[in-house]
């Protein structure tokens, strides 16, 4: 029987640990404060932003909300970010992506001060992660590492295969597995003989963005499978990049969707917010 890696449980344990830590910090007069910027009111972004604010409230992190109209110019947005960069009360800045088409996401990401970059997307933050220096880790890949560690799954020396090479998931995922001493292969849409490579994996991470792409023939008997994907199917039910029902009988451990990687992303964002004030 495959072990179900319970992201809901592990994320709530992390949030409880952070809540206790924030109580101690508050007793010393320190309260972390996150500025959350949303441009427009895309329904999915509204859900994500609300969940982030709720997690802040639960842990005791102060959150400042900037709900900006869709038409705001890039210059105006950059001015707000610049003010928040210089505001000593604000420890972390989060700009909910995606942004409207007239705003260049890269310019906005570059504008956030690296010491307040709790999403971990600024090039300086990415560079620090790559060379193993101290700094924020990108939330979704860091959440995957926590899922594995807290489920007592060793990464050291394991064949780790990542499907996907996006800047937000695939590439940083590979770097973090490498930092944990995994032997890492990155695969992508131009990879030849994908199944031959994924079948080598002791730990297979799927971040493809294609519903139920990974079937049993992509996985080795006894592998650990982590599904980063998140989709709504034709019946409005959530599913991942992995065909869970097809794969579950073959693997030793697997993350479900929902309740796997998803809740970990917010928990790790909260960890980064607390990190801004850790001594
Ligand atoms: P993306 O579209 O930016 O990247 C997808 C990657 O998959 C690309 O690098 C591409 O090369 C690769 N790919 C596409 N087709 C392939 C194929 N046929 N064979 C091999 N590789 C292929 O997506 P992303 O932002 O990295 O997100 C991936 C998935 O994770 C999406 O479903 C997204 O919704 C989900 N996601 C979940 C969370 C979370 O918190 N759970 C966070 C971020 C993203």
* Residues in Cβ contact with 28 at an 8 Å cutoff, skipping those fewer than 6 apart: none
CA of 164 to the centre of ligand 1 (A): 5
Ligand 1 atom closest to the Cα of residue 163 is: 21
Quick one: 131 exposed, middle or buried, by C-beta within 10 A (0-12, 13-18, 19+)? exposed
- Whichever domain contains 221, its CATH number is 3.40.50.720
CA of 57 to the centre of ligand 1 (A): 30
Q: How far is CA 137 from the centre of its chain?
A: 9
Average of per-residue pLDDT across 186-209: 98
Q: What is the DSSP letter of 122?
A: S
Identify whether 18 is part of a domain. no
- 109 and 203 assigned to the same domain: no
pLDDT in tens, 64-123: 999 999 999 999 999 999 999 999 999 999 999 999 999 999 999 999 999 999 999 999
Whether residue 160 is predicted with pLDDT greater than 90 in this model: the reply is yes
pTM of the model: 0.97
- 98 and 195 assigned to the same domain: no
Torsion, CA 179, CA 180, CA 182, CA 183, rounded to 10: 20
CA of 63 to the centre of ligand 1 (A): 29
pLDDT in tens, 21-33: 999 999 999 999 9
Whose C-alpha lies nearest to ligand 1, atom 4? 166
Whose C-alpha lies nearest to ligand 1, atom 22? 189
Identify whether 4 is part of a domain. no
Identify whether 279 is part of a domain. no
CA of 104 to the centre of ligand 1 (A): 21
Q: Domain containing 39: what range? A: 29-115
Cα distances from 64 to residues 23, 32, 56, 142, 161, in angstroms, run: 19, 11, 10, 24, 39
3-class DSSP state for residue 242? strand
Whether residue 234 is predicted with pLDDT greater than 90 in this model: the reply is no
- 102 and 143 assigned to the same domain: no
pLDDT in tens, 78-91: 999 999 999 999 99
- 48 and 102 assigned to the same domain: yes
Cα separation of 61 and 58, whole Å? 8
Q: What local confidence, expressed as pLDDT, does residue 20 receive? A: 98
- 166 and 218 assigned to the same domain: yes
Domains identified in the chain, total number: 2
Average pLDDT of the residues of the chain: 97
Cα separation of 38 and 33, whole Å? 16
pLDDT in tens, 252-271: 999 999 999 999 999 999 99
Whose C-alpha lies nearest to ligand 1, atom 39? 262
- 105 and 143 assigned to the same domain: no
Element at 101 (helix H, strand E): none
- 48 and 93 assigned to the same domain: yes
* Pocket of ligand 1 contains residue 53 by CB under 6 Å: no
Whose C-alpha lies nearest to ligand 1, atom 16? 189
- 150 and 89 assigned to the same domain: no
Q: What local confidence, expressed as pLDDT, does residue 269 receive? A: 98
In the numeric block, the tokens 């199944």 are attached to 195
Domain boundary among 80, 99, 115: 115
Identify whether 15 is part of a domain. no
Average of per-residue pLDDT across 139-162: 98
- 191 and 225 assigned to the same domain: yes
- 91 and 185 assigned to the same domain: no
Identify whether 19 is part of a domain. no
For the record, the structure tokens of 52 come out as 């982030």
Identify whether 68 is part of a domain. yes
Which sequence positions are flagged as catalytic? 52, 96, 119
- 146 and 189 assigned to the same domain: yes
Closest to 148 measured CA to CA, from 119, 110, 177, 184:
177
* Residues in Cβ contact with 271 at an 8 Å cutoff, skipping those fewer than 6 apart: 14, 18, 142
Q: What local confidence, expressed as pLDDT, does residue 233 receive? A: 85
Whether residue 279 is predicted with pLDDT greater than 80 in this model: the reply is no
Phi then psi for residue 209, to 5 deg, are 80, 25
Identify whether 70 is part of a domain. yes
For the record, the structure tokens of 121 come out as 């997307």
Identify whether 267 is part of a domain. no
Sign, CA dihedral 122-127-130-135, equals: negative
- 145 and 254 assigned to the same domain: yes
């Amino acid at each position: 029987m495959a072990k179900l890696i319970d992201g809901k449980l592990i994320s709530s344990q992390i949030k409880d640990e952070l809540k206790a830590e924030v109580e101690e910090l508050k007793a010393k007069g320190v309260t972390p404060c996150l500025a959350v910027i949303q441009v427009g009111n895309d329904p999915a972004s509204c859900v994500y932003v609300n969940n982030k604010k709720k997690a802040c409230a639960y842990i005791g992190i102060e959150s400042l909300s900037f709900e900006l109209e869709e038409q705001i110019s890039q210059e105006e947005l950059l001015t707000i970010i610049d003010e928040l960069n210089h505001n000593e009360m604000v420890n972390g800045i989060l700009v909910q992506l995606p942004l409207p088409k007239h705003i260049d996401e890269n310019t906005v990401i570059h504008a956030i001060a690296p010491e307040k970059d709790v999403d971990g997307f600024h090039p300086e933050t990415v560079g620090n992660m790559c060379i193993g220096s101290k700094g924020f880790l990108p939330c979704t890949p860091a959440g995957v590492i926590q899922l594995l560690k807290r489920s007592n799954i060793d990464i050291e020396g394991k064949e780790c295969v990542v499907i996907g090479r996006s800047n937000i998931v695939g590439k940083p995922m590979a770097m973090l597995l490498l930092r944990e001493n995994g032997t890492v292969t990155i695969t992508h849409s131009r990879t030849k003989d994908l199944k031959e490579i994924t079948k080598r994996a002791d730990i297979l991470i799927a971040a493809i963005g294609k519903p139920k792409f990974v079937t049993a023939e992509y996985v080795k008997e006894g592998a650990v499978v982590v599904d980063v994907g998140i989709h709504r199917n034709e019946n409005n039910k959530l599913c991942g990049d992995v065909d869970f029902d097809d794969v579950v009988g073959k693997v030793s451990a697997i993350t479900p969707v929902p309740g796997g990687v998803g809740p970990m992303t917010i928990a790790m964002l909260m960890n980064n917010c607390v990190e801004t004030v850790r001594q």
